[in-house]
Amino acid sequence: MDNLLNQSNFSCPHYPNTINFHFFRKTKLLFAVVIMLGIFLLFPLPSFSSDFLVSPPPKSMDKYYAEPGETSEWNAQMQKMGTAYSAIFVSLEKKKWHLAEKNAQFFLDSYEKASKMIPEWEEEFDLKAANTLKESILTKDMRGIGKASESIGKTCSHCHLKNNNSVWVRYYWPSTETIKVLDPLEEKEISYEDFMEKLSDSLKRISVNFTQNDIQQSWRSLDVFTKRIKSLRSVCSKCHVTEWTKSPVSVKDFFVGEDILNTLQEIKKDFATGEPSKKKFEKNIDYINKRSCKMCHLVHQPTAAIQRAWKQKN
Ligand code: HEC
Ligand code: HEC
Ligand code: HEC
């Protein structure tokens, strides 16, 4: 984009007319680029250092996210602001300058309001550029519009990349620390972490006993493990409070679904033959490790780990 703005007009000595032609083409191109950047919110990506930190969001944000499950006031403001911003460029594309002016004012107001909602983030906003954007639209100055929207776009993407993950970890993910799981063997509720240790322990015992040719003990561990996996199914709804209503699929079909229980059943059947196959056994255990433990960890563990780190810091 800078290139486009800085290029000097090309003129051809033999065909003076081409000056106009090139100028026309370039203005049109500039127009198209500015509009595209605006409508599709193609923000220039800021760079962060490789030791990028996921820090907790500022405390003053808590009040906007006081109602879990509801759209927060902050997010509502963002949506309003984002819509006004896109509307500027859609209007410009249709050459409706009046509408563009109106939306630039909407945008300026909502951007200004957002900048005051979280004092710790005030510096992240570029109110000067937002004012320039409005002024440039008033004077139909495409170059000015391009420059101002580039600066504004940087503020959007910088803040989003830096802070969205933190906001999601803090306000969208319930903490595993508030959850108790019923251990079917000890018949008591234990912490999520302790339950994971026990689940892991019973899975390992299945394999260790099998390797030592102690099929009877392996069978017992298999029963214990099956009970624990079934107990884990009742935990999902503590966070997944609203099930998918438009689909017959339930979250419980993943990680703790019928396929896992069937695999455990297959191991048992093979044990019952009296001569279980090592190859089949390993294949089945591998399935459980990957499709239950690993996949669920890939989805749920990073957040839990970040929340844990934040808690230790405080
Ligand atoms: C100072 C930080 C900050 C700045 C600057 C900022 N945003 Fe955001 N924005 C956020 C955070 C944080 C979220 C995530 C909120 C959430 O998911 O609850 C967000 C979310 C959004 C969303 C998504 C709303 C949804 O439906 O989930 C839109 C759209 C948005 N911002 C537009 C913009 C635009 C356009 C700009 C620039 C003109 C901008 N934001 C500037 C912090 C910022
Ligand atoms: C500590 C809270 C918590 C627990 C417990 C939990 N989840 Fe999740 N899970 C989440 C959150 C938050 C997401 C992100 C998307 C969302 O909110 O649905 C998610 C995402 C998922 C996804 C990705 C797609 C989707 O539905 O959003 C699946 C599949 C899933 N979980 C399955 C499970 C299953 C199965 C269990 C129980 C064995 C479970 N989860 C237990 C919090 C939890
Ligand atoms: C519902 C999704 C889910 C399933 C299924 C699941 N885990 Fe976990 N597991 C978690 C989450 C989330 C944590 C992090 C808990 C925390 O830090 O609060 C965790 C933590 C652990 C931990 C402690 C941390 C570590 O990595 O050392 C172990 C061990 C563990 N899981 C083993 C297993 C094993 C073995 C299985 C498969 C039999 C399994 N888990 C299945 C979600 C799951």
pLDDT digits (tens, 9 = 90+) for 45-65: 777 887 888 999 999 999 999
What is the model's pLDDT at position 292? 98
Q: Indicate whether 104 pLDDT > 90.
A: yes
Q: Indicate whether residue 196 lines ligand 3 (CB < 6 A).
A: yes
pLDDT classification of 1: cutoffs 50, 70, 90: very low
Q: Which amino acid is at 200?
A: S
Q: Which of 151, 137, 134, 113 is nearest to 37 (CA)?
A: 151
pLDDT classification of 149: cutoffs 50, 70, 90: very high
- Computed on alpha carbons and rounded to an integer, the radius of gyration of the chain in Å comes to 29
Q: Indicate whether residue 173 lines ligand 2 (CB < 6 A).
A: yes
Q: What digits encode the pLDDT tens for the residues 107-129?
A: 999 999 999 999 999 999 999 99
Give the chain's length: 314
Q: Supply 262's token pair.
A: 């069937």
Q: Could you tell me which residue, 178 or 15, shows the higher pLDDT?
A: 178
In whole angstroms, what is the distance from residue 195 CA to residue 197 CA?
5
In whole angstroms, what is the distance from residue 86 CA to residue 107 CA?
9
With tokens 């990028």, the residue in question is: 52
Looking at the CA of residue 177, tell me the nearest atom of ligand 3: 18
Protein residue whose Cα sits closest to atom 40 of ligand 3: 293
Q: Please, are residues 215 and 276 in contact by the beta-carbon 8 Å criterion? A: yes
Q: Which ligand is nearest to the CA of 250?
A: 2
CA 303 distance to own-chain centroid: 11
Mean pLDDT of all residues in 38-42: 73
How many angstroms is it from 22 CA to the middle of ligand 2? 56
Q: What digits encode the pLDDT tens for the residues 215-272?
A: 999 999 999 999 999 999 999 999 998 765 667 788 999 999 999 999 999 999 999 9
The dihedral over CA atoms of 107, 113, 119, 124, expressed in degrees to the nearest 10, equals: 0
Protein residue whose Cα sits closest to atom 39 of ligand 2: 236
Q: Indicate whether residue 171 lines ligand 2 (CB < 6 A).
A: no
- Global pTM? 0.88
Q: Could you tell me which residue, 309 or 34, shows the higher pLDDT?
A: 309
Q: Indicate whether residue 84 lines ligand 1 (CB < 6 A).
A: no
In whole angstroms, what is the distance from residue 101 CA to residue 95 CA?
11
Protein residue whose Cα sits closest to atom 8 of ligand 3: 196
pLDDT classification of 207: cutoffs 50, 70, 90: very high
Instruction: Tell me how far apart the 2 most distant CA atoms of the chain are, in Å.
Output: 95
With tokens 């906007």, the residue in question is: 64
What is the model's pLDDT at position 49? 80
